[in-house]
Each structure stands twice: as structure tokens, then as C-alpha cells.
Amino acid sequence: MQSSLILQNLVSAPVLFFFLGVLAVLVGSDLEIPSPLPKLFSLYLLLAIGFKGGLELAHSGLGSQVLLTIGAAVLMSLLVPISSFLILRTRMDGYNAAAIAASYGSISAVTFITAQSFLNVLHLDFNGFMVAALALMESPAIVVGVLLAKLAGQSGDSLKGAKAGGLRWREVLQEAFLNGSVFLLIGSLVIGYLVTSFSPAGLEKMDPFTEKLFYGALCFFLLDMGIVAAQRLRDLRRAGPFLIGFAVLAPLLHAGVGLGISRLLGLSQGDSLLFMVLCASASYIAVPAAMRMTVPQANPSLYISSALGVTFPFNVVVGIPLYMALIQRFVPLS
Amino acid sequence: MQSSLILQNLVSAPVLFFFLGVLAVLVGSDLEIPSPLPKLFSLYLLLAIGFKGGLELAHSGLGSQVLLTIGAAVLMSLLVPISSFLILRTRMDGYNAAAIAASYGSISAVTFITAQSFLNVLHLDFNGFMVAALALMESPAIVVGVLLAKLAGQSGDSLKGAKAGGLRWREVLQEAFLNGSVFLLIGSLVIGYLVTSFSPAGLEKMDPFTEKLFYGALCFFLLDMGIVAAQRLRDLRRAGPFLIGFAVLAPLLHAGVGLGISRLLGLSQGDSLLFMVLCASASYIAVPAAMRMTVPQANPSLYISSALGVTFPFNVVVGIPLYMALIQRFVPLS
Amino acid sequence: MQSSLILQNLVSAPVLFFFLGVLAVLVGSDLEIPSPLPKLFSLYLLLAIGFKGGLELAHSGLGSQVLLTIGAAVLMSLLVPISSFLILRTRMDGYNAAAIAASYGSISAVTFITAQSFLNVLHLDFNGFMVAALALMESPAIVVGVLLAKLAGQSGDSLKGAKAGGLRWREVLQEAFLNGSVFLLIGSLVIGYLVTSFSPAGLEKMDPFTEKLFYGALCFFLLDMGIVAAQRLRDLRRAGPFLIGFAVLAPLLHAGVGLGISRLLGLSQGDSLLFMVLCASASYIAVPAAMRMTVPQANPSLYISSALGVTFPFNVVVGIPLYMALIQRFVPLS
Amino acid sequence: MKRIDLFLSEREVNKVCKAISKAGVPGYSVIRHVTGMGLAGEISEAMDFSGLGANAHVIVFCEPHLVPAVRAGLRPLFDVYGGVGFVSEAEPL
Amino acid sequence: MKRIDLFLSEREVNKVCKAISKAGVPGYSVIRHVTGMGLAGEISEAMDFSGLGANAHVIVFCEPHLVPAVRAGLRPLFDVYGGVGFVSEAEPL
Amino acid sequence: MKRIDLFLSEREVNKVCKAISKAGVPGYSVIRHVTGMGLAGEISEAMDFSGLGANAHVIVFCEPHLVPAVRAGLRPLFDVYGGVGFVSEAEPL
Ligand SMILES: Nc1ncnc2c1ncn2[C@@H]1O[C@H](COP(=O)(O)O)[C@@H](O)[C@H]1O
Ligand SMILES: Nc1ncnc2c1ncn2[C@@H]1O[C@H](COP(=O)(O)O)[C@@H](O)[C@H]1O
Ligand SMILES: Nc1ncnc2c1ncn2[C@@H]1O[C@H](COP(=O)(O)O)[C@@H](O)[C@H]1O
Ligand code: NA
Ligand code: NA
Ligand code: NA
């Protein structure tokens, strides 16, 4: 079962384009998606995923299971950074530990989308409100990360922390909640909700853009992600085996906890996979941009390389089918 | 009735994305659509609107009402700059008055498109030849604007006009008729006409690109317009209350005249709205680019800010439903 | 017959947009598609054409006619550079002759796509494996071109060849096979093949992106090609009548040979046209980028201008309908 | 040898390049998409979609005796459209 | 007259521009999408999609007496976020 | 301290960066999408879609004693592929 799931996942177009990007770097091709084209695709994906999430949230309503699930997701985005920090702190300075921890508490929208495509192929349903969970997991992890960095800074091992002075709350909240990616995702979610509720005639006209085009645009973006992830592999060697190990084991651990919570909440198989993927994935869009500003003492190449160079490919290639296999074992077909 | 129209308009996806862009600037989010992506969307919208206009022009033919309507539109694009100039000249120097006047004589394609989407939602028909009117209103307003600036310059109050010397007709006509935006719009119109007339098999293959994708691309572009318009608000304070007042009252006045002409021409409700919007809107694409070259003495931040920062949002948010309410009162349902 | 084919071709949207771009330059419009937007369209077209080719290759399988046709195509991409070199060498130095020869041995994907659109309009079928032929004709021509340049360099007439030293095989093969355009095309072909064979459910989801959007994106890209080709016309005057003559006569000659081979292989009318177009077209994407690195002694403006400024428009405007007329005369409707 | 740095609106880049070519410089380089602040206020890329463009930075390395011709060629353009220029010392590598 | 060249992450461009404006310079120009190598290692455009950006190059021409104020305004930013600056001689064209 | 300005085709940027790194410079900055005019004629961005690229501008600030090594590293590249370089005086800010 599990091996057929892996194969099923491997020969999907998005995953294959990811590999094509990786291969381009490994064989030394000069294939590149010049800037700002990748930004076009990331803006598009955030807009489309938010809009579709809002649409489905409007259909499903805000019942108690919806609120419980979202609450559990937010809780995970607060706890994961703390536990990750405690693990990472054993081997690295506080700033880097905090910034990496924030990454793993937050989510990867592209991993989430890839899991949705995977569910589509398996003809398994999932709920639209999971996108709301996704949207709400970005900011708390950033805030926790900054607090941890601040704590670490005070406990004396700061690099250039003396200069950083008091916590600039305004800036931290700005980076956490008004970060361009977070803002677009949440804004599109609200717009999708409003349009569905008050002007459903507009939905059909958005459909070719947000729905039909989505899969192809995802392939294009994953081609670029493959290139960027492969370029990061070099940095990774410098990061050392501890961080690489963390980047593979943390998603497994977090996915495991996510599976437990899914069982408690009684989520369907599809929603369980998405919940596990939210817990297991690490952010390489919103969080790095926020950490660069709020925890400048941390080394970006560490948190970007582990999230984008290891955890992201791991989740997309191995994680998603593996989590699905676990779900098929432990979560009843509703 | 009117308040339901406003609501109907407000909860449409394009208008909501415009507000999302405005909000991003107001709350200080770093959301941006990096250059040249906005150019991609503006080129796309011009190409698609032109092509669709040509297609419908080929279907409707060039009957007398078509020619009369287009003629009236061109006339408005000649008269509006003159009357606007006379008003503006009372409080500002001739160059700035002329450049702003040219803007208001010309049109805003995006306002026009938003009005079309609004009509779609109301299930009201409109004629394709209105796009021809739109395409033909850009250039005359530019030429009149340059003539007015020249006149103003000769009457002695020039800033650095002494240097400008005689009117460089070649350059003026080039900017008026060969401006990239004008050229692409008219070119696509002609192509749409030719393909529809001589090779209709190709239409179906263009449809996913020019028709299906249109609404979503409009949302994306309006997100950027919201960002840019909000950034312009700061400049506006410097412009002072007179110009702000003009930027709100001029569209009302021009829409009113447009309504009168629509009645005279016996246009349908849908065409009346489009005609009013053509009269009421001000150009922030073709005209600023042309004025920068031909009337360099004018301050771009004045004409861009009033057209893009005030008149555009006013028309998109308040104007369109307001004009529709007037039409429902004065124009019989044909 | 022939004149109706030419008209049919001329009023197709892609060809008309090509002319619009040419016209923009001739009349001095400032219309431009700013970088990197043309790259977006070229990456998209390569991805889509490759994916669709892989899909159809998976359907048609690798029968003997498929292999024979591909083999003949590759043979042409080896022979055309040699014969072209011998002709060009009579009037120009070896480096330039070799680089231009490589261009004509290789192919133009956009010419190929335009021919496919033309066949669609005529309701003539063609086989997907022709894309495989296209993909495999790029690299051999590059290798032959470099070998010819090397040979020419040794025979003593080098400009700065002394420095170039021994043939850097690694670099040549890299440019020939791992060139970004070649790599993306072949990679997408393989992905299309794999997805079709092992996960056909994903095909339907790719369809809006790779199939529906294709025609419109081609129009947009041809608009840019028109602009770039027209800009090249100036360079061309410097190139002289010999090269211009070559750029018009070579496609006719190669198309003629292609027609003969098509008859031998018993290709259908549609496939014959594509085969002729592969032979007749010259590369202005992969080859110039490769020649710039491997034969730096050659003048890029010569090989780009002849391939893009003359041969490409000639094939798109005159060549395709002309080759079709010949086919209708010599190839039986299967 | 002199190095000349020019900053001006992208709209006039072609005019400026023609003017300096006419002055006889051996070459030049142009960087577009430059934003900035000057007498005309802040220039951003926000209006790029309209064809208005931001600024361009033109760099010219040339012999000292060409500087006056470059200056003379640019003066009328800078007077009408704005733009600034600076000169410094340099040598070939 | 002095020419100041600053290289720093695109994320801090606004902060840097505010700091040099406050120092009283008459204008400045900003080139974004600059890649490079420095103490912080290699900076590419690969993470642009995330809003992280590459580097920016800020160029300021100003009177010599403003240089200390510019330096003082930038020091705290460069200390926290990295970035380098260089000064050379220039004159108006 | 010296400032080195290099202009060359985007295609060779990686080769040039490797060469100057090998010469031991402490850092460098690269601006791509530079157009211009030189011995090889006019270079535009029009062929960008093909991967051919326009020019790049590489800026290096380094100690004077490194200049000969940089020059020596670049000479073979400039000889084969074209490109120009200039040196001027500078100091750290
Ligand atoms: N005198 C110059 N001043 C500024 N840039 C130059 C100069 N000469 C050449 N360049 C730049 O260097 C590139 C390559 O020069 P070349 O190898 O001479 O064609 C040109 O395309 C210009 O961008
Ligand atoms: N002192 C300066 N240093 C650097 N760049 C400047 C300076 N002054 C003006 N600029 C640039 O030149 C452009 C045009 O200047 P201006 O014509 O004064 O508005 C500005 O937008 C800046 O990009
Ligand atoms: N010596 C140098 N020459 C030119 N650019 C430099 C130099 N050192 C640093 N830079 C630029 O400044 C950026 C930040 O430098 P750093 O803070 O040292 O990492 C680098 O990424 C380069 O773009
Ligand atoms: Na997570
Ligand atoms: Na108007
Ligand atoms: Na060929």
C-alpha cells in the first residue's frame, strides 16, 4: 500500500517538476526562472489558495469542529517552536535556535497544496477550513520565535544582541501579521468568504483563474522550488549533521503529534493528512522574511536551508505518502 | 435600490482586491507586486479588452448608431479637456492645468472593465463597439492637452517653457497615437476584428486566454492599483483641497453630461453606463506617460495623484453604482 | 489554393500579433514587453510543448515509424550544419560560418508551434512524436557547429582563436545538452510521458494550463518576437545581401529536402509539414546562447539577425503556407 | 580617464544615449529600474505599468577631453526633463 | 563633493534611505536586485519569491561635510543588519 | 583602497566572480540587466528570453595590492568574451 502511495505521489506532475528543478542544478544546467517570476507564482498561489479557502469556509460555516481544529492548529504553532527551540538549543546559539524553531512552528503553503493535489488523485475529500488553519499558523510561530530569541539574548550568549536593546513589539507584530505573504493569504481568504456569502455570481468568473490554472502554476513554481532547494544543499553541508537530522526527524515527530490530535478531533482522512502536513512542514516564505528583520543575529542560511533544502523536499516526496499510509492504518474512512 | 447596487459592487472580487491593496498600504504591510509584473497585467488587459472589442465590433458592424456613439465619445474627449482646463487654470499654472485636463479627457480602461464586470453581475447587456469608443478617446485628449499647454506657455507664465521652443508636432502625435498602451489596444482591436471576420475558427482558441482568465487577472491588477493608489494619497495632501475637490466633482459632472448624451443617442442601460464611465474616468496609463514627454513642465505627481489616487477609486467604488442608479431612473430598460 | 492558404495563415491571431510587434517598431511606438516577461512566455511554451509532446508520445508509443522519423530528424540536424557551413564559408570567416550553420541545423520551437496551430485550423492531424524530433534536433547541431568552428580555427584564419586552445568538450556538451531551453523541453517531454503512462488522472488537471492557455500565450510571445525581429532588421543591413539571401533560400532548400524525406518515410500531410518546418527553421533560442559561450569569436548579431530577423518571419508568414501547398501537391491525404 | 555618472528618467534614456554617443564616447552602460530622490521628489517603480518608468543610471568612462561635449549635449535635456550628472577620476584596469 | 556607495539587504532599504535623508543629503539613487558576496556570504535572488530580496546599491552624491552625518546614521543599521559603505571623490558634471 | 568596475556579458558573470574571488577580494556586488554600448556594439535585453542575457556590472572594493591579481584573472576572460574594466580611488565609509 505504502509503496504504491509513494509511487502515486512520485509520478504526479508537480513532484516531477520539482525533481526536474533539482536535476537541473545537479547536472549543472543553466535553467533558471528569473526574478521576479517566482514571486508571480508565489503571489498567485497564495491568492488562489486563500480565495478557495474562504469560499469553502463560507460553505462549511464556523461550527464547533471548525473552531476546535483551527484552535488546535494555532496551539501547535505555539508549542512546536518551543519544543524545537529546546532541542536545537542543545547544539547551537539561542538566536539561530529561535529562528529555526519559528520556521518549524509555521507552515509551508506549497507542501499543503501538494498534499491537496495528492488527496485529489486519491479521490479523498477535505474541508476548506483547513486553509484557515494554515493562514492562522504563520503569525503565532513568528511571535514565539522572536520571544525565544529575546530570551536567549538576555541569557547572555548574544552575538551582537547588546545593540538590539528592548523588544520592538510594533515591528515584531508587523512582521508577524502584516508580512506580505500572510497579509495576502488572509486577505484573499476574507475576500473569498465575502464573495461566496454576498455575491456568489462572481465565483464562477474567478474559477478559471483560481481553480483551473492552479495545478499548472503549481508545477511551474515547484520547478523553481526544486532549483532553489538544490542550490541550498551546498549550504547544508556547512550546517552539519545535527541540523540535517533535525530537519528530517522534526517533521516526523510533528506529523505524529498531528496524527494524534487528528484522531482526538475525529477528523476525516483527508483533513488528517492536511493537519499532519501543517504540523510537519516548515516555513520558508513568511518566516525567513520576518526573522531577517526581527532576529538579524541569526544566520539566514541555516533556517532557509533546513526548511527549504531538507524538510520541504522530504515532506513533498516521502512525507506526504508516508503520513497517508499512517492515516490509512489509524484513521477510519469516515 | 441604490444602496443595494453599492453593496453589490462593493462585494465583487475586483473591488475587494482593490481595497485589499489600499489596506496593505494603510496598515504598513510590505505586500508588493514587484515590477514588471503589474506591466504584465496591464499589457494583458489591454490586449484582451481590445481583442474582445474587435470581436464584438465585427459582430455588431459599423451601423449609424455605432458611428454616432463613437463620434460622441471622441467629441467628449476633445471638450472635457478644454472645460477642465478652464476650471483648473483658475487656481494653477497652465502646464499643470493642461496636463490634468488631458487626463480627464482621456479614459481609464480598468474603470471601464470594472463597469463591464458590474453589468455582467446585473445581467445587463452592452455593445462591443463601446471598446472602440474607449480606444479612440485616448489620443485626442492628449493632443488637446499639449495644445493647451502650448497656449498657456505662450501666454507668458511658463516655468521653464522658454526652452521648450516651438511645438514638436511629430513627437506629440507619436505620444498621442503610438504610445505603447494606445497602440496595443487599437492593434488588438483590429486583430480581433480581422480574426472574427476572416478566420473565426481561431476565436475559440483565444477564448480561454482573453475571456476566461480575464476576471482573475483584473483582480490581480486591481490589487496592485489599490497599493499604488493608496501610496498616492500622501502626494495628494500636498496637492491641496482644490485639486481633490476637482477629482471628485469632475467625474460627477462628466458622467452627468454623458448621461444626457446617452439619452440623446438612445443607448441601452448597459451602454449608457459604459458611456458615462468613459466620460467620468481619467487616464493614469497612457496620458501620464505622454505628458511626461510632451509637457515636462507639469508636475507628474499632480496629474497621477488626482487621476489614480482619487478619481479612479471614486469611480470604481462609488461612481459605478451611482451612475447605474441614475440610469435606472432616467434610461428606460430597452 | 496556395493564396487561400497564405490568407488563412495571415489572418490567424498569432501571425497578426507578430505583425503588430513588427509594426510597433517600424512606426516608432514605445510598446515593449519588458524583461523578464518574454522569458516567462518562452519558458511556458517550452514546458507546455514538451509536456504535450510527452503525452502524445506515450499514446503513440515508440513504433518503428516513430524511431525512423526521429532518426531522420536527427540526421538532418547533423547534415544541415555541414552543408550550410560549406556554403557560408565561401563568403565569411569560419567562426561566423560555423555559428550560423549551427543555427540552421537546429530548430525554432515557435515556428513549429505556429505550424501546429495552422494545422489545427485546417483540421489536419499530426503526431505527438514530432515534438520528440524537435527536442532531439537542438543538441546535435550545436555539437557539429562547435566542431566546425574548431576545424575552421585550426585552418588558420582565427581572429582571437589562438587563445581558445583545445576543444573544451565538457563545456560544449554542457551547452548542447544542458542548455536551459533544451533541458526544460526534454524534461517536460519526459514528465508528460511519465504522467500519461503512470498517473493519467493528473492530465486533466494540467490541461487548462498546458492546452487551453497555449494559443493566447503564443500570441503574446509572438508580439514580442515581432518587436525583436523588427529591431534586428537594422543589424541585417550591415550583414549584407549574401547572408540575407542565405536566410531566405536555406529554409526553402531544407524544406525541400524535408519534403523528400517525408515522402520516403510515408508521413501524413500534417507530419510532413512539421518535418519540413523542423528542417527549414533556424534556432534563435538555444543555439545563440550556446554559441556565445562556445564560439565567442563569432559575431552574435550575424547569427541572431539571420535566424530571428529573416528566417523566422519568412517561415511564419510565407514558409508555412507554401510548404503546405507543396504537401497538398505531393503528399497524398492519408 | 574620467567616469561620468548620470541619473535621469527612463523615458529619456534613448535621448541621453544618443547625445553621449554624438559626443564621441567609446562606450556606455545603462542600468534601468533605478529609484531615488532628487529635486523632483521621490521616484519609485510604482507607475511602471503605465510606461512611465523609474530612473536610469548611465555610466560612461571616457577621456577627459570628451567631458565638455558630453556636458553640452546633456544640458538641454536635463534642463527640460530633470536629471543629474557627476564626474570622477578613473583609469582602465 | 563626495560619492558614497552603500551595499545592504533590500529589506533595509527604506530604513537606510530614511537615515541618509535625515543626514540632509540632496538626493540619492537606489538600485535593487543586486547580488553579491561579503562577510555574510553569497547573496542571490533565489529567495526573492519569499519577500527576502537580494541586496540594494544606494548611491549618494553630497557635500563632504555631510559624510559624517551619513556615517553616523548608518552605523547602527550596518551593525545590526550588515552592509558596507565606501566613499570617493567626485564633482558635478 | 581601490574600486574596480567591470562590465561584461551576463553569460560570463559566474566565471568572472570565480576569477575575482580567487584573486582574494573581500567581497563584490553584481548588477545584472545592464544594457550598453562598447566595441561589440549595442547590447540590449531583447534576447533575454533565449538565455543570452544582457550585460552585468560587477563592483569590487579592495586593497590596492589585489588589483594586479584581479587584472590577471580577468585578462583571459575579457580577451575571449569581451568586457571592460576600470579602477578608481575610494575609502571605506
Ligand atoms: N567606455 C565605457 N563606459 C561605460 N561602459 C562601457 C564602456 N565601454 C564598454 N562598456 C560596457 O561594457 C560592455 C562590453 O564592452 P565591449 O566588450 O567593449 O563590447 C558594453 O556593452 C558596455 O556595457
Ligand atoms: N545627490 C544625488 N545623489 C544620487 N542620486 C541623485 C542625487 N540627486 C538626484 N539623484 C538621482 O537623480 C534623479 C533625478 O534627479 P532630479 O532631476 O534632481 O529629480 C533622482 O530621482 C535620483 O535618482
Ligand atoms: N568589497 C566589496 N566590494 C563590493 N561589494 C561588497 C564588498 N563587500 C560587501 N559587498 C556587498 O555588500 C553586501 C553586504 O556585505 P556584508 O554585510 O559584508 O555581507 C554583499 O552581499 C555585497 O553585495
Ligand atoms: Na509546522
Ligand atoms: Na474621461
Ligand atoms: Na533547421
Q: Provide the shortest C-alpha distance from residue D88 to chain B (in Å).
A: 29
Q: Is D80 in the pocket of ligand 2 (CB under 6 A)?
A: no
Ligand 4 centroid to Cα of residue A140, in Å, is 11
The pLDDT value given to residue E4:
98
Taking alpha carbons only, the member of A180, C274, B297, A8 closest to residue E52 is A180
Model-level pTM greater than 0.90? yes
**Taking CB atoms and an 8 Å limit, are B289 and D76 in contact across chains?**
no
pLDDT band for position A163 (50/70/90)?
A: very low
CB A98 within 8 A of CB A145: yes
Burial class of B114 by CB neighbour count within 10 A (0 to 12, 13 to 18, 19+)? buried
Q: Is F9 in the pocket of ligand 1 (CB under 6 A)?
A: no
The pLDDT value given to residue A282:
97
B81 or C175: which carries more pLDDT confidence? B81
Residue B163 has pLDDT above 50, yes or no: no
ipTM of this predicted complex? 0.95
pLDDT band for position E57 (50/70/90)?
A: very high
The pLDDT value given to residue C167:
65
- What residue type is A189 in one-letter code? L
The share of chain B scoring above pLDDT 90, in percent, equals 81
CA distances from A164 to A95, A294, B40, E11, E71 (A): 12, 9, 41, 17, 19
The share of chain D scoring above pLDDT 90, in percent, equals 97
Ligand 6 centroid to Cα of residue C14, in Å, is 21
The pLDDT value given to residue B125:
92
The pLDDT value given to residue C2:
60
Distance separating alpha carbons of residues A73 and A258, to the nearest angstrom:
9
Among the partner residues A191, A199, A289, nearest to B17 by beta-carbon distance? A191
Kindly report the protein residue whose alpha carbon is nearest to atom 14 of ligand 3: E83
Q: Measured on CA atoms in the order C40, C45, C47, C48, is the torsion positive or negative? A: positive
Q: How many CB atoms lie within 10 A of CB A290?
A: 36
The model's pLDDT over F41-88, given as tens digits with 9 standing for 90+, comes to 999 999 999 988 999 999 999 999 999 999 999 999 999 999 999 999
- Among D29, D59, D70, say which to mutate for ligand 1: greatest number of ligand atoms within 8 Å of CB: D29
Please report residues of A whose CB lies closer than 8 A to that of C188.
20
Ligand 6 centroid to Cα of residue C73, in Å, is 9
**Taking CB atoms and an 8 Å limit, are D80 and B164 in contact across chains?**
yes
Task: Cell 544582457: give the residue.
Answer: F54
Q: Provide the shortest C-alpha distance from residue A52 to chain B (in Å).
A: 12
Distance separating alpha carbons of residues C22 and C34, to the nearest angstrom:
16
User: Where is C47: in which H helix or E strand?
Assistant: helix C37-60
Among the partner residues F34, F39, F74, nearest to D29 by beta-carbon distance? F34
The model's pLDDT over B191-225, given as tens digits with 9 standing for 90+, comes to 999 999 998 888 999 999 999 999 999 999 999 99
The model's pLDDT over A18-28, given as tens digits with 9 standing for 90+, comes to 999 999 999 99
Q: Is E28 in the pocket of ligand 2 (CB under 6 A)?
A: yes
Q: Provide the shortest C-alpha distance from residue D77 to chain B (in Å).
A: 10
Residue C165 has pLDDT above 60, yes or no: no
* CA end-to-end span of chain F: 11
Taking alpha carbons only, the member of B244, B281, B318 closest to residue B9 is B318
Taking alpha carbons only, the member of C108, C106, C113, C107 closest to residue C219 is C113
Mean pLDDT within E26-49? 95
The pLDDT value given to residue A8:
80
Distance separating alpha carbons of residues D71 and D4, to the nearest angstrom:
10
Among the partner residues A7, A29, A36, nearest to C180 by beta-carbon distance? A29
Q: Cell numbers at residue E39, please?
A: 562577510
Distance separating alpha carbons of residues C261 and C273, to the nearest angstrom:
11
**Taking CB atoms and an 8 Å limit, are D39 and E27 in contact across chains?**
yes
The pLDDT value given to residue D32:
97
Mean pLDDT within C183-191? 96
Residue C244, chain A, CB below 8 Å: the answer is no
Q: What does the H/E/C string look like for D25-78?
A: CCCEEEEEEEEEEECCEEECCCCHHHCCCCEEEEEEEECHHHHHHHHHHHHHHH
The model's pLDDT over C246-270, given as tens digits with 9 standing for 90+, comes to 999 999 999 999 999 999 999 999 9
**Taking CB atoms and an 8 Å limit, are D33 and F33 in contact across chains?**
yes
Peptide bond into A36 cis (omega under 30): yes
The pLDDT value given to residue B96:
96
Residue A200 has pLDDT above 50, yes or no: yes
Q: Cell numbers at residue A202, please?
A: 462572481
Distance of CA B161 to the CA centre of its chain: 29
Ligand 5 centroid to Cα of residue C325, in Å, is 50
Q: Cell numbers at residue D16, please?
A: 541621453
Please report residues of B whose CB lies closer than 8 A to that of D11.
289, 292-293
Residue D30, chain E, CB below 8 Å: the answer is no
C282: alpha, beta or left? (left if phi > 0; alpha if psi -120 to 50): beta
Which chains share 3+ C-beta pairs under 8 angstroms with F? C, D, E
Please report residues of E whose CB lies closer than 8 A to that of A36.
48-49
Q: Is F5 in the pocket of ligand 1 (CB under 6 A)?
A: no
Search chain C and give the residue with CA nearest B206: C216
pLDDT band for position A2 (50/70/90)?
A: low
- Among D21, D25, D28, say which to mutate for ligand 1: greatest number of ligand atoms within 8 Å of CB: D28
Which ligand ends up closest to the CA of A276?
4
Distance separating alpha carbons of residues A181 and C26, to the nearest angstrom:
43
Which ligand ends up closest to the CA of F58?
3
CB C47 within 8 A of CB C109: no
pLDDT band for position E29 (50/70/90)?
A: very high
**Taking CB atoms and an 8 Å limit, are C289 and F33 in contact across chains?**
no
Q: Cell numbers at residue C65, please?
A: 515509424
The pLDDT value given to residue A235:
82
Mean pLDDT within C7-29? 93
- Among F20, F29, F60, F93, say which to mutate for ligand 3: greatest number of ligand atoms within 8 Å of CB: F29
Q: Cell numbers at residue A9, please?
A: 505521489
Among the partner residues F28, F30, F92, nearest to E86 by beta-carbon distance? F92
The pLDDT value given to residue F74:
97
Distance separating alpha carbons of residues D62 and D70, to the nearest angstrom:
10
pLDDT band for position C222 (50/70/90)?
A: very high
Please report residues of E whose CB lies closer than 8 A to that of F30.
34-36
Task: Cell 516608432: give the residue.
Answer: C28
Distance separating alpha carbons of residues A141 and A256, to the nearest angstrom:
19
pLDDT band for position A334 (50/70/90)?
A: low
Torsion of CA A190, A196, A200, A204, to 10 degrees: 80
The pLDDT value given to residue B283:
96
The model's pLDDT over A148-161, given as tens digits with 9 standing for 90+, comes to 999 887 764 444 44
Among the partner residues E3, E31, E92, nearest to D57 by beta-carbon distance? E31
CB A46 within 8 A of CB C205: no
Q: Provide the shortest C-alpha distance from residue A37 to chain B (in Å).
A: 8
Which ligand ends up closest to the CA of A103?
4
Q: What is the mean pLDDT of chain F?
A: 96
Distance separating alpha carbons of residues C23 and C156, to the nearest angstrom:
44
Q: Which of residues 49-68 of E touch D (CB under 8 A)?
A: 59, 61
Residue B159 has pLDDT above 50, yes or no: no
Distance separating alpha carbons of residues A42 and A285, to the nearest angstrom:
9
Mean pLDDT within D51-75? 96
Residue C154 has pLDDT above 60, yes or no: yes
Q: Provide the shortest C-alpha distance from residue A240 to chain E (in Å).
A: 17
Q: Provide the shortest C-alpha distance from residue B211 to chain D (in Å).
A: 21
Residue C288 has pLDDT above 70, yes or no: yes
Please report residues of C whose CB lies closer than 8 A to that of F54.
35
Touching status, chains C and F (3+ beta-carbon pairs under 8 Å) = yes
Q: Is F43 in the pocket of ligand 1 (CB under 6 A)?
A: yes
The pLDDT value given to residue A160:
45
DSSP designation for A135: H
Distance separating alpha carbons of residues B121 and B7, to the nearest angstrom:
12
Residue B5 has pLDDT above 60, yes or no: yes
Q: Is F93 in the pocket of ligand 3 (CB under 6 A)?
A: no
Task: Choose, out of D17, D30, D32, the residue to mutate when testing the contact with F (most F CBs < 10 Å).
Answer: D30
Residue A229 has pLDDT above 50, yes or no: yes
Q: Indicate the range of A257-261, B299-303, F35-39 predicted with least confidence.
A: B299-303
Beta-ladder partners of D60: D4
Strand stretches in C189-315, DSSP E: none
F82: alpha, beta or left? (left if phi > 0; alpha if psi -120 to 50): left
The model's pLDDT over E77-90, given as tens digits with 9 standing for 90+, comes to 999 999 999 999 99
Q: Is F82 in the pocket of ligand 1 (CB under 6 A)?
A: yes
Q: Cell numbers at residue A110, please?
A: 506549497
**Taking CB atoms and an 8 Å limit, are F46 and C36 in contact across chains?**
no
Distance separating alpha carbons of residues A19 and A6, to the nearest angstrom:
14
Q: Is D40 in the pocket of ligand 2 (CB under 6 A)?
A: yes
Distance separating alpha carbons of residues A53 and A56, to the nearest angstrom:
5
